[in-house]
Amino acid sequence: MSRAKELVVAFDVFNGKYRREEVEEALTLQEEITPLLISILDDIAADPVRYMDEDRHAEAYAVALLAHFREKNAHLPIIRAFSIPNEQRDYIWGDMLTETLPALLCRTADGDYSAVMELARDRNAYEYLRASAMEALKLGIASGDLPREEGIALFATLFDESLAEPEEYFWASLVIDLLDLHTEELITEIRDLYAKGFVFEGEISLGDVEQEMAQGYDAAMARLKDKLDWILPEDVHRYISWFACFQEQKKMTPSPHVSPLKAMNRQKEKSRNNRKQAKASKRKNRR
């Protein structure tokens, strides 16, 4: 068995600790380990129930390493691996759906956001999956991976009333991302959403919009720049060492740069990651 395969086998075994040394070694075997990591995502997409039943745990390592490598061949496999039924997605990915997926999509897009847009526009996709796709587009613009003019033009196509029912989270998520980018170009369209009752003001009000926009472009870009280092870290370990399965720290803390408005709407995702940890621990204790 090659060393790359040995590392993947080690990643699949849950021991309650983050395998930092193995990740460091995997970084030196990029060419050899990349197809093995992509195959993990293919296995999840093809049969997530079997992946769960086989008690495998390599998925977080796989996506973190592939994102660090900026592996464009992993872009669609990542989308497919997250586009599984809700029950399996909650168990396998937990908080990574909202906390990490946008960065994974951005780092593997290689400037092509067509698949991200397809996901964002899919009415049948889970609402937080669509929100993560839109956030990936925002990150692409903010990081320079996608020219701002081109990215804003893509966002403009999402003001399509057929994409979601009034007051669905899709609209609030769209508005929040556009505020982060300070898109004065689309402020008329944003206000029109409120006039038509499409945005649930319990998530973000028109007053919030006007207050954010009044602060100006430079202030918005300064805040966004401050977020990017956390959201798109060059340190591969920061993608997953916070994951609830890996208790490196006594107290795990979320990103300090998540929009408070989005954070409120993510709370129902927060406990799901712990399910996998608890179930895995029980299985481990039975052995």
Distances (CA, A) of 98 to 56, 63, 193, 229, 263: 21, 14, 24, 17, 10
Pairwise CA distance, residues 56 & 84, whole Å: 16
State pLDDT tens for residues 170-201: 999 999 999 999 999 999 999 999 999 999 99
The pLDDT of residue 251 = 39
The pLDDT of residue 223 = 84
The pLDDT of residue 241 = 66
Pairwise CA distance, residues 66 & 239, whole Å: 11
Query: What region does 111 belong to: left with phi over 0, alpha with psi -120 to 50, or beta?
Result: left
Q: Is the dihedral of CA 94, 38, 109, 106 positive or negative?
A: positive
State pLDDT tens for residues 109-137: 999 999 999 999 999 999 999 999 999 99
- All structural domains of the chain with their residue ranges: 3-286
Residue type for position 215: Q
Which alpha helices (H) appear in 30-122, and where do they start and end? Answer: 30-46, 48-53, 59-68, 75-82, 86-93, 96-99, 101-109, 114-120
The pLDDT of residue 242 = 61
Q: At what angle do helices 30-46 and 3-12 cross, to 10 degrees?
A: 40
Those residues of the chain that have pLDDT short of 50 are 244, 248-287
